[in-house]
Chains A and B, each alone.
Chain A
Amino acid sequence: MTFEGVDGPFWAAAQEGRLVVQRCARCGSAWWPAIERCGDCGGGALAWSEVAPEGRVWSYAVYHRVFDPRLEVELPYAVAAVELEAGVCLPGRIVGPLDGLSVGAEVDAEFVPLDGSVLGPVWRLRAEAGS
């Protein structure tokens, strides 16, 4: 599978179960969504690097309606804004039990079919230590 567009490397890595983020090699700015030119320094030294597949829930929304018929989801479903150590914040579905879903909760990425057969990251709440 090949992926066109400025975020192509993100999707290509996702097919291999890897989470990557785009950063400017010159000024260090991290961008999401992907960008074709660093807006901060004007540099063209944008590169993708692999990061740990983990993050924290910055906030979340729980959908009780399917708005787009192409979405294959069971209701209700939760979508979080997941903040990564790298500084970007990604949208992502929460899978598994939602007990404990809260702002600040730690989550780990898994890669599942997200759009047809295209794999993408979803997030599972990390079990409490000792639980």
Chain B
Amino acid sequence: MGARHDIAIVGIGATRQGEHPQTTAEALAAEAAELAIADAGLDKGDVDGLITCKSIQGGGVDLAVGRLLGMSPPYSQTLDYGTCNFSLHLAAMAIGAGLAETIVLTYGANARSATVNFGARAPQLDLAGASGLVHIAGPAALALRRHMDLYGTTEEQFGWIAVGQREWARRNPMAVFRDELTMDDYLAQPPLVAPLRRADLTMRSDGGAGLVVTTAERAAALPHRPVHVLGMAEQSALREQFDLRNVMRPWITSVADRLWSTSGLRPSDVDVLYIQDPTAVWVLQMLEYFGFCPVGEGGPWLAEGHTRVGGDLPLNTNGGQLSESYMWGWLHLCEAVRQLRGDAGDRQVAGAEVALYCSTQGFSKGAASLLGVAT
């Protein structure tokens, strides 16, 4: 595959996560970009590309963020929905095509301080909204109920996603939710949108996250151990995106098939795993679709403890969006880089050399990136 070892992540940056009243999404994106550039050992003048990601309210475009950074790079672009995978892939393409050599990617969100209602109905008459099928928790609950019915998955088995990620978050000083969450605590939570509980859903938070990506050649001269992109894959579901049955998102298997076949790697090669998690249901789905356990067996497999602290497949070691912060998956990629550099402190996974990050744009697109360090 052409991308193998051609591109590397050389800088990461994250602002404090949680609440940033009086701050815009654009300013948080700019702050994160500056942190990432500094982490890479570079100055703004060394960066010739900027890729930003729209915030939930539609802000955060490159035109606004670039001005706050005082940058006019040769290449700049904005993605509607980054989840960082799509942004990373765009950066790899821009660098591969010669449009830029070193790109800073960044995202900012102030949904908490802006009190965005993620469960608001659309303004126009529509059957889903009028029926009360609102908030991402609704479709996610449909998917989990269906999974339980088809495969016998239990609430306790499923609960190991939220409980396991909290165990990791307790070792992450940046995580917003760090209180202990035992399985008993989890099961004692009342249903929110049954079969989901509060702990199965992400939070409203403010913050920023960014990365610097460059060629492997240039990366070799920079201070941090370069984290190479070993594989990339995407799959859309544009035709079926609005079909309610698409909440199961079976087409994610195509992302996995493309990733494994083009990279030459297998699930057993992955040392640390990151799955974007607006809801824990997305984690269950992607564990199965990427081949870490057979489809339908995610429940019993989770109960075996593989993904928890001390398990053989550490998952979302930052705490994920369930516990760390809701940054559309950007912090997952920052954490993957930390782990591969060996800089993850109390939560460092010994011998982490290959990481996988899987994400989706809701019901319409999926993407994955394999990352690795030379050994």
A77 to chain B, nearest CB (A): 6
Are A76's CB and B194's CB within 8 A? yes
- Please report whether the interface of chain B is mostly helix, strand, loop or mixed according to DSSP: mixed
Within 8 A of B (CB), among A66-95: 67-68, 70-71, 73, 76-77, 79, 81, 83, 88-93
Q: Tell me if B125 and A11 are in contact (CB < 8 A).
A: yes
Complex contact A64–B244 (CB within 8 A) = no
Contacts of A89 in B (CB 8 A): 243-245
Interface residues of B in 340-374 (CB under 8 A from A): none
User: How far is B129's CA from A33's CA once the two chains are assembled, in angstroms?
Assistant: 13
Q: Contact at A63–B127, with CB atoms within 8 Å?
A: no
B128 within 8 A of A: yes
Contacting residues, chain B, for A62 (C-beta < 8 A): 141, 191, 193-194
B268 contacts the other chain (CB 8 A): no
With both chains docked as a complex, state the minimum distance between the C-beta of B135 and any C-beta of chain A, in angstroms: 5
Known: A59-B146, A115-B125. A68 touches B244 (CB 8 A): no
Residues of A within 8 A of B138 (CB): 61, 63, 79
- Which residue of chain A has the shortest Cβ distance to B248 in the bound complex? A59
Contact: B192 with A65, CB < 8 Å? yes
Judge whether A5 is part of the interface by a CB distance below 8 angstroms: yes
Min distance, Cβ A122 to any Cβ of chain B, angstroms:
8
B184 at interface by CB-CB < 8 Å:
no
Q: Are A61 and B239 in contact (CB under 8 A)?
A: no
Q: CB-CB contacts of B227-244 with A at 8 A, as 1s and 0s?
A: 000000000000100111
Instruction: Give chain B interface residues in 113-154, CB to chain A under 8 Å.
Output: 117-121, 124-135, 137-139, 141-143, 145-146, 149
In the complex, the chain A residue whose C-beta lies closest to that of B120 is A68
User: Cβ of B311 < 8 Å from any Cβ of A?
Assistant: no
B41 interfacial by beta-carbon distance below 8 Å: no
Q: Which of chain B's residues have a CB closer than 8 A to the CB of A70? A: 121
User: Would A103 and B124 count as touching, CB distance under 8 A?
Assistant: no
A47 on the B face (CB < 8 A): no
Chain A residue with the shortest CB-CB distance to B194: A62
A77 to B132, CA, bound (A): 8
B294 close to A (CB within 8 Å): no
CB closest residue in chain A, given B135:
A67
Give B155 Cβ to nearest chain A Cβ, in Å.
13
Q: Which of B120, B190, B193 contacts A61 (CB 8 A)?
A: B193
Given known contacts A58-B244, A71-B132, A90-B127, A103 and B194 CB-to-CB distance under 8 angstroms? no
Give every chain A residue within 8 A of B194 (Cβ-Cβ).
61-64, 76
Answer whether A64 and B132 are a contact pair too, CB < 8 Å, given A59-B146, A118-B125.
no
**Of B124, B137, B245, which one neighbours A81 at CB under 8 angstroms?**
B245
Q: Are B121 and A59 in contact (CB under 8 A)?
A: no
8 Å CB contact of B120 from A11, A58, A67:
A67
Residues of chain A lying within 8 A (CB to CB) of residue B142: 58-61, 81
Question: Which of B124, B130, B239 contacts A120, CB < 8 Å?
Answer: B130
Which B residues between 79 and 137 are near A, CB-CB below 8 angstroms?
A: 117-121, 124-135, 137
- Known contacts A60-B142, A67-B119; A91 and B133 CB within 8 A of each other: yes
Given the interface pairs A67-B134, A67-B135, A91-B133, the reply to whether A60 lies near B145 with Cβ below 8 Å is yes
Show 5 residue pairs from A and B whose CB-CB distance is below 8 angstroms, ordered by the A residue: A61-B142, A61-B145, A68-B119, A81-B142, A104-B149
Please list the residues of chain B having a beta carbon within 8 angstroms of any beta carbon in chain A.
117-121, 124-135, 137-139, 141-143, 145-146, 149, 190-194, 239, 242-245, 247
Q: Which 8 A-B pairs have the closest CB atoms?
A: A67-B119, A61-B141, A103-B149, A81-B244, A62-B194, A59-B146, A59-B142, A115-B130
